[in-house]
Amino acid sequence: MNERQLQILRELGELGSVTATAEALLMTPSAVSQQLRLLQRSIPVPLTERDGRRLVLTDAGQVLAGAAIEVETALAKARHTVEEFVDQPDAEVSVAAFNSAAAAFFPLLLAEARPGSPRLSLADEDVAQDQFPRLTRDYDLVLAHRLDQAPPWPATVTAVTLLREPLDIAVPADHPLAAQRRLTPRDVADHPWITVHDGFPLMATIDAIATAANRRLDIVHRVNDFAVVAEIVAAGGGLALMPRWTARPHPALVLRPLSGVHTGRHIDVLHRPERAARRAVRTVLSDLRRAAATIQR
């Protein structure tokens, strides 16, 4: 039993013929008859009977047709409720982001808030790269990062690139390397390093630097939070990769571009395709694009 079958039964009771019912519902008579047969299989008593050349409802059919009105009314209310939810401009929108993106984007999103704007629910999620798509089950929008050479996100999520951000080498302002405008893998390979934990996107670039310099890097600290990394670099704890735009500037550090290795990452916003049907989610997506332009400037 389904909604369409109940609708056909109701119309048949009012119109009195399969042909008239088919015309009213923009169906063929054979399709109407087939749906009535399928409905009858799920009901233990006859729903229709012949009255001359007319097909009419039995008492059981009339009872079920009356129930069909209640079903259609309830479904209409449900659809209206869903339509209101989808079109609600100030609905809640949940956004998750890895740490440096959260620090850069969240304040700008909050600055966009106006009466009637979406209500933001923000969270930081510092996960390995392959875990970002799974977060779209729990959040409307997920800010994720991947390296230039990394494979694309799976087709199960929609991905929009907000920024293509260079990764630079962070060195103390009084370090000898700070005097150079650009650095090479050989310039940086003999120094101690602060890196992220294994499994996180930046490790692939660290490995590429080691390969280009033909030597293993001396990794002495593993820290995922760039604010903490900056303090360690400033204290002379080593060199580190630092995003050019989303990391908070540190007065005791300078950033220098690296030649000879692809050192860039994409900051993408991921979401399940159906989430974008909501007006509030589309509004926040537009706000994220504007925030990205502000960050890049």
Domain boundaries, the chain: 3-87, 92-296
Alpha-carbon distance of 247 to 71, in angstroms, equals 55
The predicted structure's pLDDT at residue 242? 93
Task: Answer yes or no: same fold for 3-87 and 92-296.
Answer: no
Q: Examine the pLDDT at 150 and tell me if it is beyond 90.
A: no
Task: Give the mean model confidence (pLDDT) for residues 253-273.
Answer: 93
93-109 pLDDT per residue, tens: 999 999 899 999 999 99
Q: Examine the pLDDT at 63 and tell me if it is beyond 80.
A: yes
Alpha-carbon distance of 27 to 295, in angstroms, equals 56
Alpha-carbon distance of 211 to 179, in angstroms, equals 25
Q: Examine the pLDDT at 280 and tell me if it is beyond 80.
A: yes
What is 92-296's CATH topology? D-Maltodextrin-Binding Protein; domain 2 (3.40.190)
User: Any idea which architecture 3-87 has in CATH?
Assistant: Orthogonal Bundle (1.10)
pLDDT band per the 50, 70, 90 thresholds, residue 9:
confident
The predicted structure's pLDDT at residue 71? 83
DSSP string, 94-153: EEEE-HHHHHHHHHHHHHT--TTSPEEEEEE----GGGHHHHTTT-SEEEEEEETTSPPP
Q: Examine the pLDDT at 78 and tell me if it is beyond 80.
A: no
Q: Which amino acid is at 6?
A: L
Pairing of strands 141-147, 158-172: unpaired
Task: Give the mean model confidence (pLDDT) for residues 240-266.
Answer: 92
pLDDT band per the 50, 70, 90 thresholds, residue 138:
very high
The predicted structure's pLDDT at residue 42? 87
The predicted structure's pLDDT at residue 11? 86
Q: Are 60 and 45 in contact (CB under 8 A)?
A: yes
Q: Are 232 and 223 in contact (CB under 8 A)?
A: yes
Among 47-51, 155-159, 200-204, name the most confident range.
155-159
Nearest to 165 by CA among 112, 129, 201, 122: 201
Alpha-carbon distance of 253 to 285, in angstroms, equals 33
The predicted structure's pLDDT at residue 13? 85
Tokens of 170: 């962070």
Question: Global pTM?
Answer: 0.71
Q: Are 239 and 191 in contact (CB under 8 A)?
A: yes
The predicted structure's pLDDT at residue 102? 95
Mean pLDDT of the chain: 90
